[in-house]
Amino acid sequence: MVKNKDLNNKLILLSYENLINPSNKMKLKSTGIKTLVLLLLLTIYSCGDKPETLYINGKIYTMDGSNSVAEAIAIRQGKILEVGSTKEITEKYSSDDVFDLKGAVVLPGFIDSEGSIIEFSKNLNYINLSYAKSLDEIKSLILEKARNTYEGEWIGGYGWNELNIPEEELVQMDKKFLDKIAPNYSVYLVNANLNTVLVNSRLMRTLGINKDTPAPAGGEIEKYSNGELTGVFYDEAVNLIRDNIPGLLKNEMQTQVEKGVKEIVKYGITEVHDKTLGKEGLEIFKALIDSNRFPLRVYAIISGEDSSMVDTYFNKGIETGYKDKLTVRAVSMDYDGLFEIQDAAMTEDYLADPKRKVPYVTEEDIERVYTRAIDKKFQFYIKAVGDRAVSSSLNVMDKVLKKTNAKDQRTVIEYCEFVTPKDLNKISELSLIPSVRPDVTMYDLQIVPQLINSEYGVKTGLWNSLLRSAGKITTGSDFPFHQINPFLQIYYLTTRQLTDTVLTSIPNPDQKISLLDAVKSYTIWPAYASFEENTKGSIEKGKFADFIVISKDIFNSDPKAMLETKVLRTVVNGRVAYDNIFDPEKL
């Protein structure tokens, strides 16, 4: 079978010349010989383009320019050879591997616009407490972990949320609670906002922390009325625990990352935009890619505050498509931080101290890095949460873009959680791409009145307005610090409701977006945001065969169905990266 198309053409030409060359004493007078030539031509071409895999009888939401729905996909060498009806594809192509979807729904692979693969991989050793609704659930998770952990070792948990646990139970979360469950382990539980950690007595003894240990500036070590430690550490005091958690060696980290990416694709995620990578992380990724142990694509965004990495890559230049898995062509800066810990730069003061947030970086810092990025053809990301952060960032970007006259720079403004109408117009004028965090916003919508002027609610999470202003938005989960599940994020975007409570007075109910736009914010739009819309983000001929098979038709179901939707199969580069024992009969 001939695989090279140029070679195919030469063979076809040679065959044709041999048949019509007078020296061969063959005259093309009969229809039979002409038919033979045609059959030979078709045979060689069909062999050259024979797909490795066919997916047929599905409901395939392509997310192409027409939002068309197809039935079948032909895959060859990791790319989509053709998309169409089952009849069209099966009549045109044959394959030794034909997968009958039996009506199952297919979507393009999800692209998460913010996640930390390294941190997610580390957290696989920890207990995920993000879904815990009570102390009993937390207790059960710790006991289950302890059964598979040697005595004396550390047990870590992360992600517990104060809003999910009844208030009368929250007051019982102290060292006594943990001491009863796992006295022979060093236990620490970090909350979802990373500003509170609960530990047991053994861990404090291990670290030499006692009632005489001073709290660091900006932190608190909670005590009982008798002066003894409760085991709860707040804000900067969290670092007393975090900085002493046992780390992994480099070879152990590589194994852990391999496990991590295998978990990530289970959520239907085929690419992650990762802004937490340093030199060692990139080396680990490349080593795993080289050994074919990395079933995920990564768009790496280097930190603008890491001067060494910035200088290295600005001198080296952008790196695109390392073995079709890794691209490094963006730099980011954080203007401010999370609203719930009063780290967002707001125009008005917070109700409690500290009332004003000092930005992480200066406007001069942003201007300097942004200008260098444009000069070196690097994309620029800016994290701006508060309305003051958004306004200041936009002013700097306006100045830089006018100075450089940059074209098609696709600058991304992340979070933009509190936005004014004036700044919405500016985002449109500068052709910026907003990247939103639905999980974070839904939490903040509930606490605005507790932290700042309640009128701020009308500025919060203006997803629909951002979409209308920019023409597109992207969505990130910020995993593992928030919930990774794309269907949960899409649910928030399309309902603007919590999963277990109906909010009747939530601000801006008109700011939810359509399901089609929400899915695009996880597929074709983030592909565009990373200059990759011609190779991924939709199921179209010539693009990478990155797609997922899911358990429900979310476009024809109640919104709550999204919370029950499972990923049955994840395909990356035409290869099955995850298979949840696919059984269409159970759909």
Do residue 503 and residue 375 come from a single domain? yes
Does residue 480 have a cis bond before it (omega within 30 degrees)?
A: yes
Domain, as residue range, for 172? 117-242
Please state, in angstroms and rounded to a whole number, the distance separating the CA atoms of residues 490 and 497.
Answer: 11
The pLDDT, as a whole number, for residue 585 is: 53
- Residue matched to tokens 């047929």: 56
Do residue 14 and residue 157 come from a single domain? no
Domain-located, residue 529: no
Do residue 508 and residue 371 come from a single domain? yes
Please say whether the beta carbons of 486 and 478 come within 8 A. Answer: no
For 295-319, letters b (16+ CB in 10 Å) and e give bbbbbbbbbbeeeebbeebbeeeee
Do residue 129 and residue 193 come from a single domain? yes
The pLDDT, as a whole number, for residue 124 is: 85
Kindly report the number of other CB atoms within 10 A of residue 168's CB atom: 8
Domain-located, residue 533: no
AA identity, residue 143 = L
Domain-located, residue 69: yes
Do residue 38 and residue 99 come from a single domain? no
The pLDDT, as a whole number, for residue 194 is: 85
Tally the domains of the chain.
5
Domain-located, residue 96: yes
Parts of the chain with a pLDDT under 70: 1-48, 248-250, 582-587
The pLDDT, as a whole number, for residue 46 is: 46
53-56 vs 72-76, strand pairing mode? antiparallel
Please say whether the beta carbons of 261 and 227 come within 8 A. Answer: no
Nearest alpha-carbon partner for 360 in 389, 401, 328, 318 = 389
Return the beta strands (E) in 93-228 as ranges.
98-100, 105-108, 110-112, 127-128, 154-160, 186-191, 196-199, 219-223
Do residue 388 and residue 488 come from a single domain? yes
Q: How much is the pTM? A: 0.82
Please state, in angstroms and rounded to a whole number, the distance separating the CA atoms of residues 580 and 505.
Answer: 39
Do residue 412 and residue 327 come from a single domain? no
The pLDDT, as a whole number, for residue 19 is: 35
Do residue 369 and residue 476 come from a single domain? yes
